């Protein structure tokens, strides 16, 4: 792990739709980010233009929350300066709360949450249940927010490299957030090699949420992760996925459960590009 987490962040990484409506009507309304994104699906901007939470600013995950694809994976971390500029354009300031939402499983919103927390923002939340949970009005007007003053200071959440992820899989707990069939190596629709990091445990992100797309209660999440071996809040836990997007949702679930998770941002899309890296298949950790 390459950074020490910042304990000054807001105590909960999620907010309910009712809580967001109340915050928007209050004296210190949050900046709202629309991060609708689906892996391999259509771009989220047309959905945003068709209707979004009033005042929400669209954030393009692939253009603003990721760097250029390559050896570091399909969605490597963006350059800190570029990320800061994108957030300031969206109106993000250090002293203003931020709420991110998407329209699916919380992946895009969690990516924004993770990056902002990692970059040192103290008050970031994800709308629990996404846009489907919102009961207020929608608007089509594109807002023009005032420029924010947010300056990234990386280090707010721990970050894994390929080497430290491998070490954590041997000595701690490394969770693979992808679908079980990808972990087992039965299919690989995107990356060049099928399988998983040896020692990692399969923990698909879909099991972090209920049928309405909301996160399970903290006690239920704690029990889920305890079954994988994370039995106390001080346990060393990390997570990876295909390219560092769905893994951010798992990181958020781990934080709800009381852990300080480390994210391997390059994830399988970086790991599988290096033929020297070992690959395990099957249902066992390997």
pTM: 0.94
Active site residues: 241
CATH label, 14-133, candidates 3.40.50.300, 3.40.250.10, 1.25.40.80, 1.25.40.20: 3.40.250.10
The arrangement of secondary structure in 159-271, i.e. its CATH architecture, is 3-Layer(aba) Sandwich (3.40)
- In this predicted structure, the answer to whether residue 232 has a pLDDT above a threshold of 80 is no
**What residues does each domain of the chain span?**
14-133, 159-271
Dump pLDDT digits (tens) for 116-151.
999 999 999 999 999 999 999 999 999 999 999 999
CA distance 195 to 187: 8
| Range in 9-23, 26-40, 215-229 the model is least confident about | 9-23
Burial status of residue 75 (CB atoms within 10 A of its CB: 0-12, 13-18, 19 or more): buried
Same CATH fold assignment for domains 14-133 and 159-271: yes
Predicted confidence at residue 205, as pLDDT, reads: 96
Is residue 81 within 8 Å of residue 138, measured between CB atoms? no
Average pLDDT over residues 153-157: 96
pLDDT mean across residues, the chain: 94
Dump pLDDT digits (tens) for 196-209.
999 999 999 999 99
- In this predicted structure, the answer to whether residue 1 has a pLDDT above a threshold of 90 is no
Burial status of residue 144 (CB atoms within 10 A of its CB: 0-12, 13-18, 19 or more): exposed
Could you tell me the pLDDT band of residue 239, with boundaries at 50, 70 and 90?
very high
Dump pLDDT digits (tens) for 71-115.
999 999 999 999 999 999 999 999 999 999 999 789 999 999 999
């Amino acid at each position: 792990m390459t950074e020490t987490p910042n304990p000054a962040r807001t105590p909960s990484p999620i907010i309910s739709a009712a809580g967001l409506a109340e915050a928007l009507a209050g004296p210190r309304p949050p900046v709202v980010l629309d991060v609708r994104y689906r892996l391999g699906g259509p771009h989220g901007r047309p959905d945003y233009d068709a209707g979004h939470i009033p005042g929400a600013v669209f954030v393009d995950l692939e253009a603003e929350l990721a760097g250029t694809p390559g050896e570091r994976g399909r969605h490597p971390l963006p350059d800190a300066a570029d990320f800061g500029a994108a957030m300031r354009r969206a109106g993000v300031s250090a002293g203003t709360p931020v709420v991110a939402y998407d329209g699916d499983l919380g992946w895009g919103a969690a990516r924004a949450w993770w990056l902002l927390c990692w970059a040192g923002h103290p008050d970031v939340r994800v709308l629990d249940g996404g846009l489907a949970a919102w009961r207020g009005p929608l608007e089509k007007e594109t807002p023009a927010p005032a420029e924010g003053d947010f300056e990234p200071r990386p280090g707010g959440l721990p970050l894994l490299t390929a080497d430290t992820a491998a070490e954590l899989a041997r000595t701690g707990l490394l969770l693979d957030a992808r679908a079980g069939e990808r972990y087992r190596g039965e299919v690989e629709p995107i990356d060049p090699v099928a399988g998983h990091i040896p020692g990692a445990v399969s923990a698909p992100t879909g099991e972090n949420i209920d049928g309405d797309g909301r996160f399970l209660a903290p006690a239920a999440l704690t029990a889920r992760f305890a079954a994988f071996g994370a039995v106390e809040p001080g346990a060393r836990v990390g997570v990876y996925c295909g390219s560092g997007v769905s893994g951010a949702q798992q990181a958020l679930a781990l934080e709800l459960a009381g852990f300080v998770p480390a994210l391997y941002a390059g994830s399988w899309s970086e790991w599988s590009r290096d033929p020297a890296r070992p690959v395990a298949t099957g249902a066992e950790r390997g």
